[in-house]
Each structure stands twice: as C-alpha cells, then as structure tokens.
A and B are shown apart, each in its own frame.
Chain A
C-alpha cells in the first residue's frame, strides 16, 4: 500500500506492506535508526516515538494504521530545547551505558517534563516504568529527570533555552 507520513516535519510518501510496523518503516525505509526495537510487543519502550503529538509504541502501529500520521523521532528533536536539557543531564548523571534504551527513554522523559512539571521522584519512577534499561539500574536516569524538572521550576528559568548549568550540583 501507499502511505503518507509527516516525519520530523517533512511530508513523506512510502510504499509498504500493511503489516510493516512503524519502527521498521522508520529504520529500514527512512534510515532513521535512532528508534530502537527491543521486544516488539509494547513492553520495553525502546521504540517509543511521538505519534500525532504524544508518545506511542512504534512497534505496535502497523503501516495501515499510521497512514496520514505525524511522527517525530529522536532525530527530529535535535533542536528541541527540552531535549537539549535532557541530553546534558543524561550525560552528567551517567543515565546511559550501552545506549540501547536511550532514545525511547528520552522520548518518555521529554513527555514527563512537559506533561508533569511537578513530578516528584515517585512519580518519575512510576512514569518511567514503561521503559526498560538493562544497564544503569535507573538511578542516573531518575536523577537526570529530576534535575531537568527542578531547573525548569526554578524562578527565572521560564526561558526554556536557559542553560542547565548549575542545576546538577
């Protein structure tokens, strides 16, 4: 079937079997290999992308269902100010080791920061439960998220471009 997607802002026409899932479409046809595939049944979160404005499992969206959708992958967030803060904090807090879970983790982390600005550690851990990491033990990831949440809550940090420096002490 023919399908139309808007991927990272660009209108894209593709040809695929209806059974092909979005993660494979992104990786194999568009060479956007930042989206990783772990379990292919919705559990691990490695394949999480933004679909029509909200995080979704790209392994569970087959080509037919995503015809007409707007997709944002990790590659499409290089200029995103929240993502920039998260990347810096992930690096500072050792929130990744092999990096396999990281793109999905960052997609989820960005959603937490934007949707739940008041989240505390318990809530962050609860919200992260759908992204599995085999390396880090999660502590660094949780700390990185809490640092970004705190930096955005600080008075005068209304400017999302404000540097993260100083909030990771």
Chain B
C-alpha cells in the first residue's frame, strides 16, 4: 500500500505546468483520487506535477452573466457557499454529498471532472449546464461544452498536453428548476445511480443519467421526461440495456425522481 517511487515538481506558473505535462508528468490537484491510485499502485507516474500553487487555480470569478470557477476550487469551499447565486446553491447542495468533509477539504472540482469516475457527482451534474470547461494547452485556451467533456469511463476531451483550468457556468435566470437524486448505501460512498435535470426558462430542459458503466447519458431535450417522468424514465433506461436488473431499477428511479423534482 505504498506508492512506487516518483519525482515531485511544483510549477509556479501555467507555462511551467504545461512544460511539465509535455515532459510526461502526471498532474495532481487535491490528490483524493490520484492518492489512492498511487498507494494501490494503480498509477505509477515517474513525475507528479502539483497544480495547487498555480495562480488563479482556486479562484472563483463572477462575471456579468457567468461565473468562472477555477479547477482547483475544493468541494468544501463550494459546499460552504463560495459560488454566488442559484448556481452556487445548486453546487453547494451537490458538494455536501461528495465523499466526506476531510476528502472535500482537499478534492477539487477540476480534479473530479478530469478524473471522470462514471459515478462522480460533478460528472453527473455539470453536463446538465450550458457551460464550458476551459482547457489550457500549448496553443492557448480551448472551450469545451460541458455536455461533451466526459467522453467515456475515466476519459475526457482533454488532450494529453492540456490542463483543465476552469469551469464556466451561466448565472441562472429566475425560474430555473433543478432536480437531482442519487443512491448510495452509505453517505459519502460513490453512488450506484445518479441523475439530474436542469430546466432554464425558455430553453429545452437537459437531463443527465450517470453512474453507468459508460459515459454519462446526456439528454439534450428532456421535455418529454419532465412531462411524464415515470414512463419516460422507464423508456430511456430500457434503451440502455443494462445487464443488472437492480442497477436498471435504480437508474430508472434516479431519472424519475430527478425529473419529478424539476417538473
């Protein structure tokens, strides 16, 4: 249960971080997913580049109609209300149910999204937002719509030479509705099923179903689901052809409950 030897670097600016990445270093933020993988030797990088000391890494910047959340923002700060507005209230509710406070004090939004565990909470919730992941690479900044950032199980749209710098979310107009439901047998463990629905006035509601053995299912127009949660959830989940009837039932309930809350 001890990591294989590795070197450690602590880049002080983003170009040094990108250079370390180009030289093959594995980035780390809170270490709350990479740490266990190192201890279990599921990851054996030669060098680790610690992103926590980069300028702006954990900065939350409210602009006129959006909020830019630095990738290094911890779950605990979000839980404690560091993100303003209704979007902040939604994120705070989600953050509080990620892992345990001692893990939330170190684990970051960006680390969680980059890691892309199929059952992770930000992986379930962020794809519902009409926002962007801001990637930084040798050619500069690239904006990736959140709905297509996670591309598979532990796979994301970042290139090997890119870092996740921030997540940009719109400030939510009055009348926005949100629903979320997840199932854990014990508080703080990764969910066995999770879903969320975000409905902004004047645009098609979006739904996400996650904790599957595949990338999260993003439903770009979930109007039918909101109109008939029970029947639509059953139809959508049936289409996934999940092998395990227990997981199938949980997925159906997650999607239905999230839709009922947002309806």
Write the residues of chain A forming the contact surface with B, with a CB cutoff of 8 angstroms. 1, 17-21, 24, 40-42, 45, 48, 51, 54-57, 59-65, 67, 108, 111, 115, 125-127, 129-131
Given contacts A42-B35, A65-B31, 4 further A-B contacts (CB under 8 A): A19-B3, A54-B105, A55-B101, A130-B100
Q: Which residues of A contact B32 (CB under 8 A)?
A: 42, 57, 60
Interface of B, secondary structure class, is loop
B64 within 8 A of A: no
Q: Which residues of A contact B40 (CB under 8 A)?
A: 41
Q: Which residues of A contact B250 (CB under 8 A)?
A: none
Residues of B55-73 whose CB lies within 8 A of A: none
Given A17-B5, A62-B31, A130 contacting B102 (CB threshold 8 A): yes
Given A60-B36, A65-B8, A48 contacting B187 (CB threshold 8 A): no
Complex Cα distance, B18 from A100, in Å, reads 43
| Contact with B101, one of A24, A51, A59, A127 (Cβ below 8 angstroms) | A127
Q: How large is the interface on B (under 10, 10 to 19, 20 to 34, 35 or more residues)?
A: 20 to 34
Query: Quick one: which of A18, A19, A60, A131 has the most chain B CB within 10 A?
Result: A60
Complex Cα distance, B11 from A11, in Å, reads 24
Complex Cα distance, B207 from A19, in Å, reads 41
Cβ–Cβ contact A45 & B102, under 8 A: yes
Complex Cα distance, B102 from A69, in Å, reads 16
Q: Which 6 A-B pairs have the closest CB atoms?
A: A130-B100, A64-B8, A60-B35, A41-B36, A18-B8, A129-B187
Cβ–Cβ contact A108 & B6, under 8 A: no
**Taking CB as reference atom, which chain B residue is nearest A58?**
B102
Complex Cα distance, B10 from A131, in Å, reads 31
Cβ–Cβ contact A48 & B102, under 8 A: yes
Q: Which residues of B contact A51 (CB under 8 A)?
A: 105-106
Q: How far is the CB of B199 from chain A (nearest CB, A)?
A: 28
Cβ–Cβ contact A59 & B35, under 8 A: yes
Cβ–Cβ contact A62 & B5, under 8 A: no
Query: Quick one: which of B2, B3, B7, B106 has the most chain A CB within 10 A?
Result: B106
Cβ–Cβ contact B103 & A57, under 8 A: yes
Complex Cα distance, B52 from A67, in Å, reads 12
Complex Cα distance, B104 from A160, in Å, reads 27
Query: Quick one: which of A48, A51, A65 has the most chain B CB within 10 A?
Result: A65
Cβ–Cβ contact A130 & B103, under 8 A: yes
Cβ–Cβ contact B10 & A64, under 8 A: yes
B117 within 8 A of A: no
Complex Cα distance, B2 from A62, in Å, reads 10
Complex Cα distance, B103 from A48, in Å, reads 10
Given A18-B6, A19-B38, A65 contacting B101 (CB threshold 8 A): no
Q: How far is the CB of B42 from chain A (nearest CB, A)?
A: 10
**Taking CB as reference atom, which chain A residue is nearest B10?**
A64
B121 within 8 A of A: no
Q: Which residues of B contact A127 (CB under 8 A)?
A: 100-101
Query: Quick one: which of B31, B48, B99, B101 has the most chain A CB within 10 A?
Result: B101
